[in-house]
Amino acid sequence: MSVRVRNLAVDYSVSDGTAHALRDISFDIPEGEMLGLVGESGSGKSTVAFALMGLLANNATVTSGSAEIHGRTYDLTRPGATTALRGRGMAMIFQDPMLSLNPVFTVGRHLLEVLRRRHPETDRKSRLAMAEDALAKVKLGDPKRRMSQYPHELSGGMRQRVVIAMALLAEPTLLIADEPTTALDVTVESQIMRQIIGLRDRIGCAVLLITHSLGVVTSYCDRIAVLYAGERLENGTVGAVQAHPGHPYTRMLLDCEVPLERERLPLTTDNRFTVIAGDLPDPRQRPPGCIFNGRCDVSFEDCARIVPADYPVDDSRGHSARCLRLRSPL
């Protein structure tokens, strides 16, 4: 069951006007795949997650957008549109696992609670067995003892594993992971990402991974969507986008990454780093033309006038970007 999000737009009312956090965001996540939604601060990537979960702040309004999950279409402009899906059709992993865990409940109680909602027909004994099994699946050692521990007795990585185990038991259609490894060390990050992938493969859900790290996306995701200042600039499989970025912003972002394999000049001061010059546009007043115009290194006159549509890149399937240079010559 694939997940489709169409024309999502979110406004925030701020003290001096309306900030457009998201404009016309659409993406698909095929069943059993992981989409990496990358963007820098101010891109609105977390707003996407909150809009889908119906957890937006009070001063935010969804002005348009729908989501197709599990074969049903939800109108996201309606408050509480996806409430019924929480914990069943949709699960979420936050950057801070304590947002999902109640500090006064044991690990076991969290897991049993998920099962009680998800499988009301089962008895306590089989639920206990399922919960312990889930902890073992996310490679949390000694599941029996963990069941009676409280969140504060666990490390950050272990807490995140508990949240993943909860998602595993909830068997969602869509798993949203918002910066799940940002607060963790790289060695733990790779373990947690492997657990998320393991979860996806076990229950065949679609995963929306929201992150600022291109490295995480290219290492672990199937597809990528690049967000900039509230607009989705590029969309495609990780391989296609990495090999032939359709949008200059994507190319520049990739250039900014510092790979471990990069050539190291022996005179270390010669090793320079790439920068994207300029600032984000004012979210209250979208400039005319392309949103990236002004920071782009290949812009031309039309870029300041015409808002680019979503053009296909290289005719490869599902790879598109919003850049006027991709317009087919008239």
- Binding residues (CB under 8 A) for another protein: these are 40-41, 185-187, 189-190, 212-216, 218-220, 239, 242-243, 252-254, 256-262, 264, 266, 268-269, 271-276, 279
Closer residue to another protein, CB minimum distance, 103 or 266: 266
Residues 6+ apart with CB under 8 A from 187: none
Closer residue to another protein, CB minimum distance, 152 or 305: 152
To another protein, the closest distance from the beta carbon of 99 in angstroms equals 15
Specify the DSSP class assigned to residue 228. Answer: E
Long-range pairs for 186-189: beta carbons < 8 A, 24 or more residues apart: 188/156, 188/157, 188/160, 189/216
Query: Which token pair is 180?
Result: 């799940």
Closer residue to another protein, CB minimum distance, 6 or 212: 212
| String of DSSP letters for 30-97 | -TT-EEEEE--TTS-HHHHHHHHHT---TTEEEEEEEEEETTEEEETTSTTTTGGGBTTTEEEE-SSG
To another protein, the closest distance from the beta carbon of 45 in angstroms equals 12
Closer residue to another protein, CB minimum distance, 75 or 185: 185
To another protein, the closest distance from the beta carbon of 262 in angstroms equals 7
To another protein, the closest distance from the beta carbon of 246 in angstroms equals 15
End-to-end CA separation in angstroms for the chain: 39
Extended strands (E) in the chain: 3-14, 17-29, 34-38, 60-69, 72-75, 90-93, 174-178, 206-211, 223-228, 231-237, 311-312, 320-321
Q: What is the dihedral of CA 195, 45, 43, 16, to 10 degrees?
A: -140
Closer residue to another protein, CB minimum distance, 106 or 242: 242
To another protein, the closest distance from the beta carbon of 55 in angstroms equals 15
To another protein, the closest distance from the beta carbon of 166 in angstroms equals 24
To another protein, the closest distance from the beta carbon of 328 in angstroms equals 26
Closer residue to another protein, CB minimum distance, 110 or 223: 223
Q: Cβ distance 51 to 178 under 8 Å?
A: no
Closer residue to another protein, CB minimum distance, 35 or 214: 214
